[in-house]
């Protein structure tokens, strides 16, 4: 009995869509060796639950309120957390995968994967194995992220319609520096303007 308990994988699920979150929790709870400790509806709550419960694996979406799954993984990596992160998402974008790997994510699978495949991937991640959806690794290699972190920050704010001065004030830069960063990012992405640059970056998962 003790050996069985030691082999149980303790997880926290982070997903902002409550129906989907509940469905994933129900399916994984049917597995004898997986225990769902808690569920989070946003990135901040996910961080709080991981800090409190110290699960073996955090199963998280990417796009969530307050903090994305990649943001959460980055913070856990920086804090030295032993909890492994596995992303389950609808977004098969190479840019997301590249950023997820940099954040220390151990697993990256898509939501349309069969439930038995999801459980198996979870077990591999819990054992310290890297699990990446077939084909995504090749896509990420073929389309590397061209943006710097600063260019990414500026494009995110530009995407919201902020002016150069508003972006400069938010990031403690000069308006001229913001203009230069935007020009560089736009050129890298082969775009005609900041709006098109933001769209291209978003579609590729670089924002």
Cα separation, 28 vs 115, in Å, equals 8
Residue that wins the pLDDT comparison between 68 and 2: 68
Cα separation, 140 vs 136, in Å, equals 6
C-alpha 118 chain-centroid distance:
17
Q: What is the pLDDT of residue 2?
A: 39
The band of 1, judged by pLDDT with boundaries at 50, 70 and 90, is: very low
Dump pLDDT digits (tens) for 16-53. 999 999 999 999 999 999 999 999 999 999 999 999 99
Dump pLDDT digits (tens) for 136-159. 655 555 567 788 889 999 999 999
Cα separation, 9 vs 4, in Å, equals 10
135: region left, alpha or beta (phi > 0 left; psi from -120 to 50 alpha):
left
- What pTM value is reported for the model? 0.69
Q: What is the pLDDT of residue 137?
A: 58
């Amino acid at each position: 009995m003790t050996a069985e308990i030691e082999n149980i994988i303790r997880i926290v699920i982070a997903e902002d869509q409550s129906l989907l979150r509940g469905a994933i929790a129900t399916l994984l709870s049917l597995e004898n060796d997986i225990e769902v400790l808690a569920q989070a509806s946003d990135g901040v709550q996910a961080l709080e639950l991981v800090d409190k419960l110290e699960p073996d694996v955090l199963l998280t979406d990417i796009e969530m309120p307050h903090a994305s799954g990649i943001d959460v993984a980055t913070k856990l990596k920086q804090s030295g957390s032993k909890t492994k992160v596995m992303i389950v998402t609808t977004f098969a974008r190479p840019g997301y995968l590249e950023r997820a790997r940099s954040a220390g994510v151990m697993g990256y699978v898509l939501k349309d994967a069969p439930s038995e495949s999801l459980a198996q991937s979870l077990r591999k991640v819990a054992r310290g194995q890297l699990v990446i959806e077939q084909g995504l690794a090749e896509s990420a290699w073929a389309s590397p992220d061209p943006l710097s972190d600063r260019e990414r920050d500026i494009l995110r704010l530009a995407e919201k319609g902020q002016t150069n001065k508003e972006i400069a004030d938010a990031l403690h830069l000069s308006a001229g520096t913001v203009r230069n960063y935007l020009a560089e990012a736009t050129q890298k992405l082969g775009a005609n303007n900041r709006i098109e640059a933001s769209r291209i970056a978003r579609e590729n998962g670089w924002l």
